[in-house]
Amino acid sequence: MFRNRLFIFTMFVVLTIAASPAAVPAHAALEITFWHAMGGTNGKAVASLVDAFNASHPDIHVTQQLKGASYNEELNNVIAAMQQKQGPNVAQIFDLGSAFAKDSGFFTPVQTLLSADQLKQIQGDVVPPVLSYFTVNGTLNSLPWNNSNPLLYYNKEMFTAAGLDPAKGPTTWQDLEADCAKIIASSAAPNCLSLQIYGWPFEQWMALQGQEFANNGNGRAGLATQTNLTSDAAKNILTFWKDMAVKKYWISTGKIEDGTGAKQIFASKQAAMLIDSTGSLGGLTQNASDAGFTLGEGFMPANADVQRVGVIVGGASLWAGAGHSDDENKATVTFMMWLLAPEQMALWHQGTGYLPITKSAQKLLTDQGWFTKNPGQKVAVDQLNAGQATTATAGGFMGPFPQIRTLVDQAIQAVTSGADVNATLTDTKAKADQALADYNSRLTSGAAGTAAATMSATMSGTMSTTMAPTAAK
Amino acid sequence: MQPTLQSESPVAPIITKVQVSTRRSTGRPRILSHLALTAICLIIGFPMIFAVIKSTQSVGQIFSYPPVFIPGTHAFQNYADAWTTGNLARLMANTLIVAVAISLGKTALSLMAGMAFVYFRFPLRGVLFILVLITLMMPTDILIVALFRVVSDLHWSNTLPALIVPFLASATGTFLFRQHFMNMPAELADAAQIDGASPFGFLVRILIPLSWNVIGALGMIEFVFVWNQYLWPLLVINDNDKQLVQVALKGIAVSAADLGNWGVALAAAIIASIPPLVVFIVLQESFLRGFALTREK
Amino acid sequence: MQQSAFRQRWLPYLLLLPMFAILILFIYYPILSTFRLSTYKAAPNGLDLTYVGLDNYTRLLNPKLSTNANGQLQIQGDYILVFLRSVLFSALIVGGGLSISLGVAVLANQKLRGIRIYRTLLIWPYAISPAIIGVIFLFMFNPVGVVNYVWNGIFHTRPNWLGDPLLTPLLVVIASIWKNLGYNVIFFLAGLQNVGTEVVEAAAIDGANRWLRFWRIVFPLLSPFTFFLFVTNLTYSFFDIFGTVDVLGGPGNDSTNILIYNLYQDLQTNHATGLAAAQSVLLFGIVAAITILQFRTSERRVYYGA
């Protein structure tokens, strides 16, 4: 009987192996690889774009690969591969990872691979706020591609029930609070604003008030060494958020960075408004129609006391891996320029909900009547085009940005649980500056770097001064 | 540290006595056990049952508040969506191959190692066993970057051996077989010595037949281990066709949940859990095999 | 074994050779390079190493007391806190998990009709990857989700499962015990089968002494498997619950930050490779110490030979 079992096992394994399809035949075309973090429906859109490229460019073959369910997972896989000199030609890196990507030495700035004409074309076509995010010290490091903005979503039926105009949402904090008062008072909804405990809207509100997040030109003119977390703008934001919490106008799942949960609350009709990315527009429209309500869209509400400047783009960009041959680099550029062409950018927007970041794509979509059929997308694009491109709206450029965003998450959580705004911000700033010092010290190699590292490592994160490290650049 | 020989164990006389006495009929109603088990299964199984119910609902039914607990109308759409978004059939086949290969290899190596540690006395035996045991304290996921360097140097990047070979050595398996072998009567080994049986014969004709339940249990956890592998295949495999199933499934579940398609997300989660369940149902037989020696006595 | 059962002296080494070949190449070598890396400070890209000796360790183990802007005393370098938290989690997961699983295994070890269905339902959570479990739990424990709906109906409150610094760790512990129940039950079942059905039933038959008989007869006979489960549950609670912590707690949630989570944050988000390596070494040492301690003390009490 033992022999029988072993026999069966062996046959099973042999048959399974024999049944697997043959290996994929080799291509005569130049192979380039594209790693990304787009799963699900976005992944399908990537696949169809890449297939179309391969079909129309017989001399180049792009292999696209999902390398993570999140941007961070994918970045870590890119890093590990780069360390073994097995990195991809094109890597999608998320916004907050931009400074790290630039510092890592793993990527060639896209600008150096483009011809003068191509660069001019990009600079003329891509909308200024988007361009400014990915340009540092005058150099375009990566190709903007899948980008988004924050948007206010609301339930039109609940607005009507509360006596508010369902055609537009509040554009200022003050209007927002007034609307919430009406909504709660009239019981049009159990809660007013669903917003996740997340640093991202905080950063948006800094930019909307024209406040840079970090020093040295928001980290773009030189390495950032200090954050501006104790600025008036920052205090305004947390005071507003705390006020919303105290008045119970704001609801969240309690978990930090739970965007999915925040959307769940809104889609279950437990909140009248939601602040989330423009990328969620498609999904939320579908959810709304399934759940039986009409979705409204509006600009991200800002502080009425300060002149509105603009929002920061989020999302990711495409980076060109270093150390590849000239031929591969040329193919990479061909692929990138193709993705940015109006036809592809329009398709990409329609398939995923990411913003059409080029003027030519926006024109193409307008001509197709797309925005008439999708007024929500029009709101998103209008907000994108209305923003001014300043160092503040270009967004912070810091190596440890993900870590710092988490610190801001904790600050929001503390303040909405009752902590004092000023004290919390002072504390958070100290920790954030410490993170910057630590990161910068690790960038420099050699004795000077080690000395600075040891010093900042033993410094406690309190109100005491943070020493700027000897930043060799 | 040496185990007590059976003849010295205070337990032995009681066992013999019990085995000889006639069995009473239980009398006590089985219904209490049924009730207890049902209650426990409901509590433990609730999240899964809930996930299954929700996976059959449409988005509207999922988001309705108060929550709807009855199965919905969208079962086919959700499961079809989850299935077709990734190349799931192919990936499941890949994962099956890897799982079988690792299970066979791991079991064989662990059996041999367990036998070596229990039926032989040799210098460094204790040290070597501790060396095996401590590999439990640094799981692969922590070592992933260093491991990737080793695998890259071997030019195994994006290949099947990279998914299989590093996992053939198992502290868990060795540990388990060691415990199991030490738990068997010492007379067994003495009898083997007297008979002059070869070590291979001893292994194949005595140890293995007495270990089917343990082999079955180990096979089950090895299968689940491979089935749920995520970080390593994500890093090492660069070909959508060679990938393992969890990599695709997590992507599907996470992005569907983000879009609010909880039905599809949960359907993907349920699909992911079916094959290990099937393996368990099949392997359950071996758990029922007792330690044959007591009956043979 | 008082002496080898077989004559061939070289045989044990041969039997162990394949396993050690793989261990050396794929486990020991990476472990040693991690040890080495812990004495370096790495640039964020993981290359460009600078030797710093034990700097990473002093940074982790040297708590600095200071006052923050709120006037509160705080411990800078809260690795010690993270360590204590991990120990607490593990004690609950191992102790609670093994106790509950043993009870369930005894129940599931009967020749009832439909016992196979019960066992399948019990094993189901084990078969699912922790990340997917997290997704399911997140959906259920949303403040306006199903759990709060039922809870509110009974107790008239809506607990803040995902945000309360006491409830979220509790939820993580419960989810972790729940997920590993099936695993423990499988092995307890295998162990109970080895003890022999006659013995278990005989021990269960007598009325008043049933409990005592179980503890004096069956449990000691189970102890080889209990010891095995103790070690594997220990490593589970220190390493494998990462997925559950990540989804239910997430980055920035101090109340669920355990050693492995802190490590991964430094490794994957902060890209502080040397510091993460040092944490790997410390974590390794902690778990190894607990295991060897348990090995030394409990091996005496484990009854071998059924």
**What would the pLDDT profile of C52-93 be if each residue is shown by its tens digit?**
889 889 888 876 655 555 555 555 557 888 999 999 999 999
Contact, A261 vs A198, CB < 8 A? no
Q: Classify A195 as helix, strand or coil.
A: coil
Token pair for A92: 């999608």
According to the model, what pLDDT value does residue C113 have? 75
Which single residue is written with the structure tokens 């920790």? A431
Confidence bin at A248 (pLDDT 50/70/90):
very high
Fill in the amino acid letter for A364.
L
B91 touches chain A (CB under 8 A): no
Residues B193 and B204: their CA atoms lie apart, in Å, by 15
Q: What percent of chain B has pLDDT over 70?
A: 86
CATH number of the domain that residue C223 is part of:
1.10.3720.10
Fill in the amino acid letter for B252.
I
According to the model, what pLDDT value does residue B289 have? 53
Q: Helix H segments across A268-400?
A: 281-291, 326-340, 342-352, 359-367, 370-373, 375-386
Domain count, chain A: 2
A413 touches chain C (CB under 8 A): yes
Instruction: Report CA Rg, chain A.
Output: 24
Residues A345 and A361: their CA atoms lie apart, in Å, by 6
Token pair for C84: 């204590």
Residues A94 and A125: their CA atoms lie apart, in Å, by 22
Last residue of a domain, one of A367, A386, A405: A386
Domain count, chain C: 1
Residue C13 lies in a domain: no
pLDDT mean across residues, chain A: 88
Closest-CA residue of chain C to B230: C129
Q: Write down the CATH superfamily of domain B86-296.
A: MetI-like (1.10.3720.10)
Across the interface, whether the CB atoms of B277 and C124 are under 8 A apart is answered yes
Least confident span in A285-289, A418-422, B57-61, C132-136: C132-136
Residue A263 falls in which region: left (phi positive, over 0), alpha (psi -120 to 50) or beta: alpha
Domain enclosing residue C104, as ranges: 78-298
Residue C23 lies in a domain: no
According to the model, what pLDDT value does residue C107 have? 81
Residue C187 lies in a domain: yes
Residue-wise over C288-298: b if at least 16 C-beta within 10 A, else e? Answer: bebbeeebeee
pLDDT at B27 over 60: no
Token pair for A314: 């989020």
Across the interface, whether the CB atoms of C142 and A463 are under 8 A apart is answered no
pLDDT mean across residues, chain C: 83
According to the model, what pLDDT value does residue B19 have? 35
Residue A8 lies in a domain: no
Q: How far is B120 from chain A (nearest CA, A)?
A: 25
Q: Are residues A424 and A346 in the same domain?
A: no
Question: Exposed/middle/buried for A369, CB within 10 Å: 0-12, 13-18, 19+?
Answer: exposed
Q: What percent of chain A has pLDDT over 70?
A: 88
Residue A266 lies in a domain: yes
CATH number of the domain that residue A104 is part of:
3.40.190.10
ipTM of model: 0.85
How many Cβ atoms sit within 10 Å of the Cβ of residue A4? Answer: 8
According to the model, what pLDDT value does residue C294 have? 82
pLDDT at A464 over 50: no
Last residue of a domain, one of A386, A419, A436: A386
Question: Which of A133, A106, A138 lies closest to A319 in space, CA to CA?
Answer: A106
**Mean pLDDT value of segment C241-259:** 89
Residues A216 and B49: their CA atoms lie apart, in Å, by 55
Residue A18 lies in a domain: no
Last residue of a domain, one of A328, A360, A386: A386
- Any chains having at least 3 CB pairs less than 8 A from chain C are A, B
Q: Are residues A325 and A449 in the same domain?
A: no
Q: Classify B116 as helix, strand or coil.
A: helix
Domain enclosing residue A427, as ranges: 150-311+394-458
According to the model, what pLDDT value does residue A10 have? 60
Beta bridge partners of A144: A317
Q: Are residues A182 and A138 in the same domain?
A: no
Q: For chain A, positions 63-122, list CB contacts with chain B under 8 A.
A: 63, 65-70, 73, 77, 80-81, 83-84, 86
According to the model, what pLDDT value does residue C210 have? 64
Residue C253 lies in a domain: yes
Token pair for B2: 């040496």
Token pair for A439: 């990161």
Q: Where does chain B hold its CATH 1.10.3720.10 domain(s)?
A: 86-296
Across the interface, whether the CB atoms of B93 and A260 are under 8 A apart is answered no
The model's pTM is 0.86
Closest-CA residue of chain B to C149: B66
Strand A60-66 versus strand A30-36 pairing type: parallel
